Chains A and B, each alone.
Chain A
Amino acid sequence: MNAAGAASPGAELRPVAVNLLGVVEQPELGSTPYRVDDDGRPYVPVGDGGIVLGLRLGESVFARDADHAAPGACLVHPDQAARHALAAYSCIGNMAVVRTGRAAGARGAVLGQRGEGGRVIAAFAQEDLARMRPADQVTVRACGQGWRPPGFPPEVAVLNLDPAVVTVLPVATGDGGPVRAGVRMIVPSKFSGNGIGRPSASWDLDLQIRAGLGVADLLLGDLVAVSDLDARYNMGYRSGWLTVGLVVHGASPLPGHGPGITPILTGPASALLAEPDEAGHTGLTEAALQRFSAAELEVQ
């Protein structure tokens, strides 16, 4: 066993960026519109993929009667292998530029990804989202997988983060000490739902939490820690570990589903500390994310 195995390949290597083509998704449904919730009630899923308008970072994951709604546009690719690559290589904070359609030229940034077929969630200004439509092409400047922030202990693996974005998140490391991450809350590993057992570089992890069931409110863009979860490769139970993720989509009525986190840090609890602050936590904000679509950060 080599707990540092995940960390070593990128320790002294420079990250590369690749331009990937993402295509704005249209949500898909089967021949029946209904899904079934925890208590057997049928519902029509709204907001599960595609472009979602009006939903913003900082809103409660429980604020909308929607299913897995993400703030922005979901990007896919018509070739399944290229779609998996899009999800695997895109990182939080990567710049996304619209190439076609009425919003051509608009800049946004990657918020996270979702699993199964593979989707990248890209955040844009509301006026840009309103001019976008499914099939619009978006270039994602994908960079970050394999990169490690300087000074991080080797036991802590870093995932799905643009090299620039760690500076705007409540994540810090002391000299040779553990990484400290400010989070909204720490949840037990048994809350892990859809996404458990799947690769953390391309899937999000749904948290099985429901509004008003003893869990504090959770906002889109928050950081959350999951105890006893190792997310270096596939995500799975390991006692004494901790995984920190960014909340990228809202709640779901579907059993085993819920608000989803894109994992960003994982390691033994001795090297990765989560500091919960239910009332005062600030994760990734719209203002911070907008910096990554700005010209001055274009070259990293």
Chain B
Amino acid sequence: MNITLNAARLVTQVLAGEVWPALADRHVYRVGPDGQPFALPGMGGVTLGVHCGDPATGYASDHLEPGASVRHREAGANMALQFLTCVGNPVRVESGPAAGALGHVIGQHAYVLVDFAPDVMAGITTGDQVTVTAVGQGLALADHPAVTVKNCSPGLLEAMPGGTGADGRLEVHVAATVPAEAIGAGAGMVSEYANTDLMGAYAGLGADLSLGLEGLRIGDIVALEESDHRFGRGYRPGYLTIGVISTGQCMLFGHGPGPSTLLSGPADAFRVVTDPDASLASWLHEGWDTSGSHPGLETAQ
């Protein structure tokens, strides 16, 4: 992105996390849009076979979290991990057969979500320790003071196309634009934690549930209309929020694929360009291998 950043002023913190198990209760079932009971995997643990660039929906899954779901055992330390970790930050596996492998943060969902290459992912399981090299909160755009940046590593912003345009607006490429009607669970929460579930993307269910969002892919950059995420997540005419799809298929009603917040501000501060390649897959996966060399992004030292 052609843009002036304050990246040199940011500090980097080393944070510990742990791959967290999937959780259930003894009643097992939750309830879908038409009252269907379901018991479906996808949240917590290590979810295999779904990576950046893959379809977000179409799986027999609920709250699909691609890759490893990471948190910290202690409540306060966990909130620091969730708040300070940014999309694009590198994550190193510290224990288990995959020790030494590197992946990248693709978003938050009450867990830090980490995508690894498929052969690395196969060796990761619940309880593995990981290290997040966290940098990005505090990022600011000197030429776009009305735009707030969140959860975004400097390397990710630099890798994205667009930037300051001749008209002074911030050009951002997005794979899809999301109407305010789609905003589901996550409304009213802080935008440094979890994400915003999008309704209207229940693949295979009724047309009356659809808002045309079934084509979203993991890692897609999306624009949320009438959304102000500068100080939390709220509906607000005249505002726009840019996010990255970090979670996928949901059966739970009022939930769905979710963007983690990256940029938010008055709609007229942005110039949105529709671009099917606007995806983390275009940037994070470039040069992906198990040794973890990712040009253009931060690497763990």
A: residues with CB less than 8 A from B are 1-3, 5-6, 36-40, 188-199, 206, 208, 228, 230, 232-241, 254-257
Contacts and interface: CB of A to CB of B under 8 A. Distances in A.
B211 A237 contact: yes
Interface stretch (B2-10, B64-72, B90-98, B223-231): B223-231
A125 B229 CA distance: 40
Given A5-B34, A40-B230, A197 B181 contact: no
B235 interface: yes
A234 B232 contact: no
Nearest to A1: B34
Given A38-B234, A236-B33, 12 more contacts: A2-B35, A188-B181, A192-B187, A197-B252, A197-B254, A198-B254, A208-B235, A232-B35, A233-B31, A233-B33, A234-B254, A239-B209
B189 A237 contact: no
B252 A255 contact: no
A196 B255 CA distance: 8
A196 B231 contact: no
Contacts of B200: 237
B184 interface: yes
A234 B253 contact: yes
Contacts of B128: none
Interface residues of B, number: 36
Main secondary structure of the interface of A (DSSP, over half): loop
Given A237-B199, A256-B187, A257-B188, A193 B254 contact: no
Interface in B31-51: 31, 33-35
B183 interface: yes
Q: Lowest 10 CB-CB distances: which A-B pairs, in order?
A: A197-B185, A197-B254, A256-B188, A194-B188, A255-B234, A255-B232, A236-B254, A190-B180, A234-B253, A256-B234
A43 B135 CA distance: 28
Contact of B253 (A5, A192, A236): A236
Given A194-B187, A234-B253, A237-B209, A255 B231 contact: yes
Contact of B234 (A5, A189, A208, A230): A208
B188 A238 contact: no
